[in-house]
Amino acid sequence: MDSLKSIGAIAASGMRAQGERLKVVSENVANANSTGTSPGEEPYRRKIISFEEMVDRESGNSMVEVSGIRRDDTDFELRYDPAHPAADQDGFIKVSNVKTILEMSNMREASRSYQANLNMFETGRNMRSQLLDLLK
């Protein structure tokens, strides 16, 4: 695999990984205010994505891939709301452990990383095009 083609493959792996990250962030944000529906029931638990290096056997390129998506085991926040159907005998409900400000930060970082990979992909494509123009 030539080096200009490798640039596209590496950048594409980064875009795929960041796309998955944005998907996880959007799930977390969508469920940030969820609660259980009955006493003792747990609300939505935040998801965390992790990445790992993947070496392409054919080209030897180091790429990125999603290694897993797991649940965040931090404690749920308790909120006093005795009228809620999920309230315990003391009137407290468990609220999701999603911190919206953290998710917005993750979203911005994933978006910028995706854009950087897209710029790299386009630069590689432009260089390939320029090379073909020189060979004409």
**Residue among 132, 107, 104, 120 at smallest CA distance from 64:** 120
pTM to 2 decimal places: 0.85
Burial of residue 58 (CB within 10 Å: 0-12, 13-18, 19+) is exposed
Confidence band of 40 (pLDDT split at 50, 70, 90)? confident
Q: Which two tokens stand for residue 53?
A: 């290096």
Q: Rounded mean pLDDT of 92-116?
A: 96
